[in-house]
Amino acid sequence: MPVTQQRPPVAGLAWADAYAAARDRPTPLPAETCAPEDSQGRTLAEPVLAVAPVPAFDAAAMDGYAVAGAGPWRVAGLILAGAPEAGLIAAGRAAEIATGAPVPANTEAVLPYEDCHVDGSLLHGARGPRTHIRRAGDDVRPGTLIVPAGRVMTATRIAAVVQAGVERIRVHRRPEVTLLVTGDEVVLTGRPGPGQVRDSFTGIVDAVTMRAGGTLHTARLVGDHPADLGEALDRAATEVVVVSGSSSAGAADHLHALLGERGAEWHVRGVASRPGHPQALASLPGGRWVVSLPGNPYAGMVSILTLLEPLLRTLAGRPPATLPRMPVTGTARLMAGGVRIAPQRDGVLLPPGGSAGLTSVADADSLAVLPDDWASGDPAWQLTVP
Ligand SMILES: Nc1nc2c(c(=O)[nH]1)N[C@H]1C(S)=C(S)[C@@H](COP(=O)(O)OP(=O)(O)OC[C@H]3O[C@@H](n4cnc5c(N)ncnc54)[C@H](O)[C@@H]3O)O[C@H]1N2
Ligand code: MOO
């Protein structure tokens, strides 16, 4: 299918440079100590080494009988999982035992029920090649590396760490986010009245913040009066402040002037991208980051994925993201000198929905970043739709 190129060249920083700035300019937040159970989604600042052996003690690997000496064995006793200690069994004796129960120290093997039979009080059977005893430390010895630094803690990693007897780990602090939703026309809840719109950003910022390892601390509406936005910026005490709307040139768009008055350093100020052209990233003296999202909902989402997500990932201590790349087919209005960011599903571009609508992107797996020389079938970077 032909690809059409339209409109004059789009100005601003190259999209890939904007993404790289958001990813590479911040440094990870300091580490703190927490219980492994509280670490899900956080990044390990230090490697986790086993404290205890796994298994922690010699245990039966099968339900059956623990035996010592030569058979037949006289059955004496029952050892269930959870027994604090198993003592000894005399030679020629057997103890019925459950999987996971501690084996008596002199156990030579566990005979699974299916490999033996009891006649009166005598156990008959033959030992096979395996002892069916799990030895302490067979899987992990104290000091073994369980999870290296830089990994994001998952439910499985937490379980492995806990199994290895570790009770405290060092993780990076989670970056906290304040979302300031600007616009006198925006309502956070309920049906919008005439001229009003319902907020599109709070849920999306929350979801992306969480998946990037951060926490949405506060989301609130701020009026279009510059004093209101200025005060909200000054009061936000989190590492990251996201401002939706007020990014552009309109009479009510005050963000750039307010940041300028506060001595902000601009890292990204306009991106050669459609949508998402007016997005920006700045840092304030004292270290807080400000991410400016264009008010149009699809443009805002593009900026959340271009600037906010890589910024938060780095602050959270995550290793640098490598965006997935895959071939995409279809038609797009490419932007000379910049990228077109278009929703795709199963490698096929979806009909574009304009920068204000979210219906097309709601059907997408990801947003394909299409350079101006892209041709149908070429690979493109993918931003995962939250
Ligand atoms: N003269 C120019 N006008 C505009 C330019 C430009 O370069 N020169 N850029 C256009 C582009 S591109 C975009 S994107 C928007 C960015 O607008 P702002 O970030 O300043 O945002 P607003 O003007 O407040 O709102 C734009 C649009 O989005 C709706 N909106 C705002 N917040 C929300 C929200 N939380 N949930 C849903 N919808 C929201 C708002 O009602 C407006 O319809 O500027 C263009 N103009
Ligand atoms: O960023 Mo605006 O990108 O086109 O709606």
Q: Can you give the pLDDT at residue 5? A: 47
Q: What is the mean pLDDT of the chain?
A: 94
**Nearest atom within ligand 1 for CA of residue 274:** 12
Q: What confidence tens digit (pLDDT) does each residue in 306-316 have?
A: 999 999 999 99
Give the chain's domain count: 4
Give the domain CATH number at 76: 2.170.190.11
Whose Cα sits closest to atom 34 in ligand 1?
199
**Nearest atom within ligand 2 for CA of residue 276:** 1
**Same domain assignment for residues 216 and 228:** yes
- For ligand 2, the distance from its centroid to the CA atom of residue 263, given in whole angstroms, is 26
Whose Cα sits closest to atom 3 in ligand 2?
275
d(CA 345, CA 366): 7
Q: Is residue 9 situated within a structural domain?
A: no
Q: Is residue 308 situated within a structural domain?
A: yes
Q: What is the mean pLDDT of residues 14-42?
A: 97
Residues forming beta bridges with residue 119, ordered by sequence position: 122
Ligand 1 neighbours, Cβ below 6 Å, are 181, 183, 185-186, 197, 199-201, 244-250, 253, 275, 277-278, 294-297, 299, 355
Q: Is residue 6 situated within a structural domain?
A: no
**Nearest atom within ligand 2 for CA of residue 278:** 1
**Nearest atom within ligand 1 for CA of residue 247:** 19
Whose Cα sits closest to atom 1 in ligand 1?
249
**Same domain assignment for residues 100 and 69:** yes
**Same domain assignment for residues 161 and 252:** no
Q: Tell me how far CA of residue 171 lies from CA of 179, 183, 207, in angstroms.
A: 25, 37, 21
Q: How many alpha carbons lie under 13 Å from residue 260 in its C-beta half-sphere?
A: 6
Of 370, 374, 349, 373, nearest to 360 (Cα)?
349
Q: What is the mean pLDDT of residues 364-374?
A: 97
pLDDT reading at 11 higher than 80:
no
**Same domain assignment for residues 178 and 312:** yes
CB of 131 within 6 A of ligand 2: the answer is no
Which ligand number lies closest to the CA of residue 242? 1
Q: Is residue 140 situated within a structural domain?
A: no
- For ligand 2, the distance from its centroid to the CA atom of residue 299, given in whole angstroms, is 5
**Same domain assignment for residues 107 and 23:** no
Tell me phi and psi for residue 67, to 5 degrees: -125, 150
**Same domain assignment for residues 182 and 256:** yes
pLDDT reading at 35 higher than 70:
yes
Q: What confidence tens digit (pLDDT) does each residue in 122-178 have?
A: 999 988 899 999 999 999 999 999 999 999 999 999 999 999 999 999 999 999 999
Q: What are the tokens at 92?
A: 């020629």
pTM: 0.90
Find tokens 């956080």 and name the residue.
42
Q: Is residue 4 situated within a structural domain?
A: no
Give the domain CATH number at 224: 3.40.980.10
Residue 73 lies in domain: 59-134
What DSSP assignment string belongs to 266-322? EEEE-BSEES-TT-EEEE-TTS-EEEEEPSSHHHHHHHIIIIIHHHHHHHTTPPPP-
Whose Cα sits closest to atom 1 in ligand 2?
276
- For ligand 2, the distance from its centroid to the CA atom of residue 303, given in whole angstroms, is 10
**Nearest atom within ligand 2 for CA of residue 299:** 1
What DSSP assignment string belongs to 59-97? EESSSEEEE-SSSSEEEEEEE-TT-S------TTEEEEE
Q: Is residue 141 situated within a structural domain?
A: no
Q: What is the mean pLDDT of residues 267-293?
A: 97
**Same domain assignment for residues 204 and 284:** yes
Q: What confidence tens digit (pLDDT) does each residue in 177-194 have?
A: 999 999 999 999 999 999
Domain-terminating residue out of 134, 157, 186: 134
**Same domain assignment for residues 40 and 116:** no
**Same domain assignment for residues 195 and 163:** no
**Same domain assignment for residues 108 and 217:** no
**Same domain assignment for residues 346 and 307:** no
**Same domain assignment for residues 245 and 293:** yes
Give the domain CATH number at 158: 3.90.105
